[in-house]
């Protein structure tokens, strides 16, 4: 399980990192909202621990952006702010839980465990984009009421694009995360391009509104609105 901690105070961040690593979680730390947002866009995490008072882009803004992009992992807010308005605002913006500093470390771990359990049960089991819905339990993709017949690779590829919807997915990312190859290569690039065009034929069809887009020279993106 990978956890991202977005926290600007080095002492707090290090303590959380060490504590979670002792619980056998794989932990990454971001010191600013920008860095945190960059990491959640580029990598895959199972949960994010988010400090609200960050320099630059603050925690609530990061949270809003995360949810607007359709990223569904649980977010636990960690903050010194302690008013009811703060809690309500955080939960309204899509946080899953809230812990006020100073906190007891065992409580943080217990809450993380509970969120990850819940996350496995319901949260990340459905991905949506426009009129397309992916059911990760039944391994089924439906667009506008029609079930799409996808191969295993096409399903994985579409899932990856949906998890990064609104973001550009490069061929490097697909080679690494979907094809599990250490490096990109010309033959693999060809395979990726062929798979993408097959997937697009099935997803977008001849007349559907386009969900899968090629960004020339950069990669691909899944989004519902025309840019």
The distance from CA 138 to its chain's CA centroid, rounded to whole angstroms, is: 20
Query: Is residue 53 a contact point for Ca ion (CB under 5 A)?
Result: yes
Question: Of the listed pieces 43-51, 101-109, 153-161, 177-185, which binds Ca ion according to CB under 5 A?
Answer: 43-51
Window 99 to 128, contacts with Ca ion (CB under 5 A): none
51 binds Ca ion (CB under 5 A): yes
Q: Which is nearer to Ca ion, 33 or 219 (CB)?
A: 33
The CA-atom distances, in angstroms, between 206 and each of 201, 202, 216 are 7, 9, 21
As measured in angstroms, the least distance from the Cβ of 186 to Ca ion is 46
| Segment contacting Ca ion by CB under 5 A, of 17-25, 50-58, 120-128, 189-197 | 50-58
Give the count of residues interacting with Ca ion (CB under 5 A): 3
Q: Where are the beta strands (DSSP E) in 113-203?
A: 126-129, 132-135, 140-143, 146-148, 169-170
CA angle (57 as vertex; 55, 61 as ends), nearest 5:
135
The backbone torsions φ and ψ at residue 4, rounded to the nearest 5 degrees and listed phi first, read -105, 130
Q: Is the dihedral of CA 72, 122, 28, 160 positive or negative?
A: negative
- The 10 Å CB-count burial string (b at 16+, else e) for 34-68 is ebbbebbbeeebbbbbbbbebeebebbebbebbee
Residue 59 beta carbon to Ca ion: minimum distance, rounded to whole angstroms: 8
* Residue 8 binds Ca ion, judged by CB under 5 A: yes
Least distance between Ca ion and beta carbon 53 (Å)? 4
Binding of residue 35 to Ca ion (CB under 5 A): no
CB 214 to Ca ion: min, Å: 40
Specify the stretch interacting with Ca ion by CB under 5 A; choose among 34-42, 44-52, 105-113, 156-164: 44-52
Binding site for Ca ion (CB under 5 A): 8, 51, 53
């Amino acid at each position: 399980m990978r956890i991202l901690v977005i926290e600007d105070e080095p002492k707090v961040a290090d303590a959380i990192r060490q504590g979670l690593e002792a619980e056998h979680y794989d932990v990454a730390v971001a010191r600013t909202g920008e860095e945190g947002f960059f990491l959640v866009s580029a990598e895959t995490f199972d949960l994010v621990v988010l400090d609200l008072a960050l320099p630059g882009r603050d925690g609530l803004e990061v949270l809003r952006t995360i949810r607007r992009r359709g990223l569904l992992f649980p977010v636990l807010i960690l903050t010194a702010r302690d008013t009811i308005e703060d809690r309500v605002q955080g939960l309204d913006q899509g946080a899953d839980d809230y812990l006020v500093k100073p906190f007891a470390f065992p409580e943080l771990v217990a809450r993380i465990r509970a969120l990850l359990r819940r996350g496995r049960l319901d949260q990340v089991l459905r991905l949506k984009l426009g009129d397309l819905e992916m059911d990760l339990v039944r391994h089924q993709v439906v667009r506008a009421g029609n079930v799409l017949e996808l191969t295993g690779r096409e399903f994985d590829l579409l899932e990856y694009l949906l998890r990064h919807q609104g973001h550009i997915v490069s061929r490097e990312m697909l080679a690494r995360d979907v094809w599990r190859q250490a490096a990109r290569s010309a033959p693999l690039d060809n395979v990726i391009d062929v798979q993408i065009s097959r997937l697009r034929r099935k997803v977008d069809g001849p007349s559907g509104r386009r969900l899968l887009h090629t960004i020339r020279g950069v990669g691909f993106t899944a989004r519902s609105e025309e840019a």
